[in-house]
């Protein structure tokens, strides 16, 4: 097909959208502007779809790597954090969908902790991906 990796084309939007969802949620908590909360929900939904697309593209790109490549351990750490992000982001979306008042109800702190854990995993996954590209030259032709 194309002579370049697919995965890097997909990763930027989920990162930006997840972090935008976090910022909009914090904005809602500080200012109580309902549109912030609604846009945050949709940012998380789009981020989850983007993470799924990026993961699929990453698995497709993984097929071009030799089975005995010494960089596989680093790649597996990146995959593990990506799967964790897919799960956490999915739970964030589920919490908001299942309990629309999650930011004002009894589940508020659990939700905010989950959202914060997701932000940490977004940064970790991006850092591991950057290490793969810039230090280990994975996907660089």
pLDDT at 139: 82
Instruction: Kindly state whether residue 15 falls inside one of the protein's structural domains.
Output: yes
> 21: domain range?
7-135
Instruction: Kindly state whether residue 140 falls inside one of the protein's structural domains.
Output: no
Instruction: Kindly state whether residue 1 falls inside one of the protein's structural domains.
Output: no
Spell out the residues 6+ positions from residue 87 whose beta carbon is closer than 8 angstroms to its own: none
Instruction: Kindly state whether residue 19 falls inside one of the protein's structural domains.
Output: yes
Instruction: Kindly state whether residue 2 falls inside one of the protein's structural domains.
Output: no
SS3 138: coil
Question: Distance from first CA to last CA of the chain, Å, rounded?
Answer: 15
* pTM beyond 0.85, yes or no: yes
Kind and range of the H or E run holding 67:
none
In contact, 36 and 79? CB cutoff 8 Å: no
Spell out the residues 6+ positions from residue 32 whose beta carbon is closer than 8 angstroms to its own: none
pLDDT at 2: 60
Q: Number of folded domains in the chain?
A: 1
Q: Digits of tens for pLDDT over the chain (141 positions)? A: 567 788 989 999 999 999 999 999 999 999 999 999 999 999 999 999 999 999 999 999 998 889 999 999 999 999 999 999 999 999 999 999 999 999 998 999 999 999 999 999 999 999 999 999 999 999 877
In contact, 72 and 136? CB cutoff 8 Å: no
């Amino acid at each position: 097909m194309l002579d370049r990796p697919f995965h890097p084309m997909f990763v930027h939007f989920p990162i930006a959208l997840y972090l935008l969802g976090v910022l909009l949620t914090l904005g809602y908590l500080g200012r109580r502007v309902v549109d912030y909360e609604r846009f945050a929900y949709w940012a998380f939904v789009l981020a989850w779809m983007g993470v799924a697309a990026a993961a699929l593209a990453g698995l497709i790109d993984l097929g071009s790597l030799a089975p005995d490549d010494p960089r596989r351990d680093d790649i597996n750490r990146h995959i593990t954090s990506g799967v964790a992000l897919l799960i956490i982001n999915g739970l964030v979306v589920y919490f908001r969908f299942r309990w629309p008042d999650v930011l004002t109800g009894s589940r508020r702190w659990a939700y905010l902790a989950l959202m914060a854990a997701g932000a940490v995993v977004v940064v970790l996954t991006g850092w591991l991906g950057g290490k793969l590209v810039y230090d280990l030259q994975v996907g660089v032709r």
